[in-house]
Each structure stands twice: as C-alpha cells, then as structure tokens.
Amino acid sequence: MESSALLKEGYLRRFKVAGRDLLLVQSAGVTRLIENRCPHDGSPLAKGRLLQGCLRCPKHGISFLLDSGQPLGGDVVSEVGPLISFELLEQDGRLGISIDDV
C-alpha cells in the first residue's frame, strides 16, 4: 500500500483496498488506517484536518482522536460512534492490511 518511510506528521492519503475506501493518516506520532467515512453522517474524511492527534471532519467539524477513534465534544457527540480503523501490517518497509480485515 505505502512505504513506511514516507509517513510523516500530517500525512493523509486515500487508498482503495478491496473496494473499501480507506485513509492512512499520521498525527502526533499516531499512525492509523481508517475508513474514509465519518461515523456521524457518513461524509468522507479525506479533506479533514489533522491536528495534534485528531482528525476533524470537514462537514460538521467533529474531531476524532486517532489513538482511540472516539469523537471529542462530550454530550454533543454522545451518540456518534468511533472511527472504524484497521490493523496496519508492515513488511519490508511497506505498510499493508490483511485482506481478511477489509
């Protein structure tokens, strides 16, 4: 999917794997592969903003912690689920995903 050497702070790139729309992101030392779909209302997250370990959805502005996937905002977002994330695998400096997980 991607060389791990290319990852750096603020990295955000969209990938399609087995028909699934995914984002590979890195912020505040956290690297995550997540579904390109906001848990709030299904909007794509590819144009979201990464800041201090959070990804902010461009549609309504909810921020999600990358390390847990949980939304920030207390009661306002109490019914919003977490980001859907996938385990990243690394082999010979390349990042990938188990197709069984997709």
The residue ranges that bind ligand FES (CB under 6 A) are 38, 40-41, 43, 57, 59-60, 62
**Residue 40 beta carbon to ligand FES: minimum distance, rounded to whole angstroms:** 3
**Residue 96 beta carbon to ligand FES: minimum distance, rounded to whole angstroms:** 27
Nearer to ligand FES, 18 or 72 (CB): 72
- How many Å apart are CA 60 and CA 6, to the nearest integer? 30
Nearer to ligand FES, 26 or 64 (CB): 64
Q: List, as own/partner pairs, every contact residues 9-17 make where C-beta atoms lie below 8 angstroms and the sequence separation is at least 24, other chains included.
A: 10/50, 12/46, 12/48, 12/50, 12/55, 14/46, 17/97, 17/99, 17/102
